[in-house]
Every structure is written in structure tokens, then in C-alpha cells.
Amino acid sequence: MNGLWFMFAMLLASALFARADQEAVNLKDLVEGARQWALENFDTNQLDALPAVDGQLVRQFFQNAQQRFQGDYVVNLAVLKPAAHVVLPLLASRAETQPYAAWLTAQLDYFDVADEIQITVPPPTADTNRPPPVVANPSPQKERELWVRKVAGRPWPAAAKNYVRRLKPVFAAQTVPPELVWLAEVESAFDPSARSPAGAAGLFQLMPDTAKRFGLSLRPRDERFQPGPSATASAQYLKQLHDRFGDWRLALAAYNAGAGTVQKLLDHHPTRSYDDIAGQLPAETQLYVPRVEAVLRLREGVNLEQLAVPRS
């Protein structure tokens, strides 16, 4: 276990140096930063079920993943790939932490695609007198092509058979294209127990404030973990976002990054096109939108532009 600890700590420490001009941090700072982030972002009682060393590894990974998901460059997610495969079996080893394992399982594709970008996108020319240049984000079209190849031929998630037919009418009842039920494959791999370290939960990974806004109760029983109510709230949220932005790509970007984030970029770059702002969205969102597109194309044979809104 000591060897695993050392390897993991080095992976996470090196991941913090994506930019040459970042300040150096030592292992003590890394551990303390992870502890503080964990206290502020999720219920550490569940991680207490893990052995102490494993719990520290998980907290550090969650902290670094959150930083990278909210960062500017999708290629920086690639460094999380080896660490994710160390953390996943730790989370899966205890019933209390399995909801986080379900969430992480649904995230692995992001790290794979970022790794492919790192390999296939040529780095910019370096100037020896300056810090190493940052690898630019791929174009939205390039990302769409990467995701189509990534999911090609993939079978249905086993749990999807229990939910797709049942939840499509829920989406249609909210005048939202029923095909968007496949959002649950991207969000949670159709595992209703999934919980993210940022606080999202359920098939459609609703944050607490969003869930309450659309009428879900969090106590004494969290309705985000109930497929029917969570699907209704997710569909209502998607409808609200589409009504606001008039475009499914922008609506999906807002579902992932927040409507305020998308609106600020649209205001700054006077446009109504997702492609015009994609490169300035958080790294996770840049990969999330084309991932949803690729899944819809695979599962339903439709593009976002072809989605028909059901009659009320």
C-alpha cells in the first residue's frame, strides 16, 4: 500500500503542473488542500468507510478532477486517466462509497478522449525563451468526430433496458424530445445511485439547488435517486434551458456548466452559436456536449438539430 500511496501522490502532484508558471506545491500542501476541498464539497462520512490512506487518495483525486473539469483545456484531463483507474476499485470496495464509483465509471470516457487528443493533436511550436505553450482545444467538429469514434458499436448499458422505455414518456410529457433520456448514459451510465463529489446525484446528476427548484425533495428521502421524479425534473430543466437559448447544444452546455456561464460567453461574443463559444467553456463541458451528441446518434440515429419537440 505504501508503494501505491507514493505512486498516486506523485501522479496527483505532477498533475498540478500543467502550466510552467504555476507555483510549486509540496505533498503537505496537496493533502491539506484536498482535505479542505472535501470538507466544503461532499459528505466525508461516506469516505470514512475507506481505510485512512485510501480515503486520502480519493480526496486528492476528487480535488484534482474538479480543478481539471473546470479548467480551460480539455487535454489537461488526460493526466487523470491513470489515477482514475487506481481510485475506482477503492470506491467500489465499500457499499458507502459505491455511489461515487458509479459516478466515476461514467467519467472514464472523458479521460480516454482527452488522452487521445493529447496523442493526436500536435503540440504548438515552443520558444526556448518562454514557458511551454499550451495545447489549444480541438475544434468542436474535431471533438464531435472523436466522440463518434469513441462510442461506435458500444452496446446498451445493461441498466438502460430498465429505464429508456419507461422514462421516454416522462420527457415527452414535458414537451422535451424523448430521445434526450439518453442523457442518463452520459451522466450516470443509467445508475440511479450515482453521486458526484460536487454534490450532483441520480440518473440525471441533478445538483441540490436544481432539484429543489423543480420540486424534488431532498429530505427525508432524496428524490433525485428516484428515476421517475428525477427524469421529470431533468426534462423540465432541459425545456427551460432550450426555451432560453433556442438551441440544444447551448441548452446541454448550460445543463452541464450552468446557464450563467453560457450566457456570459454569449454576451461577450455576440453570437447564438455553440461552436463560437465552445473553446471558452469549462473543459468538461467542451467534451460533454459532443459526447451527448454522439450517444444520441448511436442510440437513436438522430442529430441534435433533428430532435422534434413533442406536442403538449
Active site residues per annotation: 187
Q: Which of 77, 88, 67, 38 minimizes the C-alpha distance to 199?
A: 38
3-state DSSP of 19-56: CCCCCCCCHHHHHHHHHHHHHHHCCHHHHCCCCHHHHH
Q: What gap in Å lies between CA 272 and CA 263, rounded to an integer?
A: 10
Q: Cell 422534434 maps to which residue?
A: 308
Mapped onto helix, strand or coil, the DSSP state of residue 302 is coil
Those residues with Cβ within 8 angstroms of residue 242's Cβ, 6 or more apart along the chain or in another chain: 176, 248, 251
C-alpha cell of residue 107: 467519467
- Burial state string for 234-268 with b = 16 or more CB within 10 A and e = fewer than 16: bbbbbbbbbeebebbbbbbbbbbbebebbeebbee
Tell me which amino acid residue 235 is.
Answer: A
CA angle 177, 232, 101 (to 5 degrees): 100
| Lookup: cell for 62 | 476528487
Which stretch of DSSP H or E encloses residue 87? helix 80-92
- Calculate the CA 109 to chain-centre distance: 10
- The distance from CA 149 to its chain's CA centroid, rounded to whole angstroms, is 19
Instruction: Please confirm whether the linkage preceding 220 is cis (ω < 30° from 0).
Output: yes
Q: Where are the beta strands (DSSP E) in the chain?
A: none
